[in-house]
Amino acid sequence: MQIRNTRQKQVIVKVINEAERPLTVHEVLAAGQKHLPTLGLATVYREIGRLSDAQELCTVSIPGDLPRYEVNKHHHHHFKCTDCDKVYEIEGCSSELKKLVPRGFKEKSHDLTFYGSCKICSSKPMGARI
């Protein structure tokens, strides 16, 4: 099945590519409406579903959070700011992680999320944080 290249899809792909971090559906909608004010929530869900099915996007699942979406590319990890709730990509993966797998176990995949304050939030005075 071929995905039609609609204006809505173009805007959604542009927003996700330019974000340089995983976005929730509502973040995609808000950013997309700056380019296409008539963009609706149902369209964003539908296009993200299609792009995910076509393996152009992947889902970033962080326990207790809404799913976020990013361009499907190489293996990497994430950092979640506990002040502003944004999630950022961390490039690379340490080979040291494989040493944590118990003897006799065979790792198939892994996911690692760091939590703390992002660069912007950590530079704000404590009382001014979101």
Secondary structure of residue 78 in the 3-state scheme: strand
pLDDT attached to residue 7? 93
Question: Which of 45, 50, 5, 18 shows the shortest CA–CA distance to 29?
Answer: 45
* pLDDT tens per residue across span 6-26: 899 999 999 999 998 999 999
Question: Which of 21, 76, 85, 16 shows the shortest CA–CA distance to 44?
Answer: 16
**Among all chains, which residue has been given the structure tokens 């979406």?**
69
Secondary structure of residue 77 in the 3-state scheme: strand
Which domains are present in the chain?
Answer: 7-71 (1.10.10.10), 77-122 (3.30.1490.190)
* pLDDT tens per residue across span 33-74: 999 999 999 999 999 999 999 999 999 999 889 999 999 887
Q: For residue 24, count other CB atoms closer than 10 A to its CB.
A: 17
At residue 52, φ and ψ (nearest 5 deg) are: -70, -45
The pTM score is 0.78
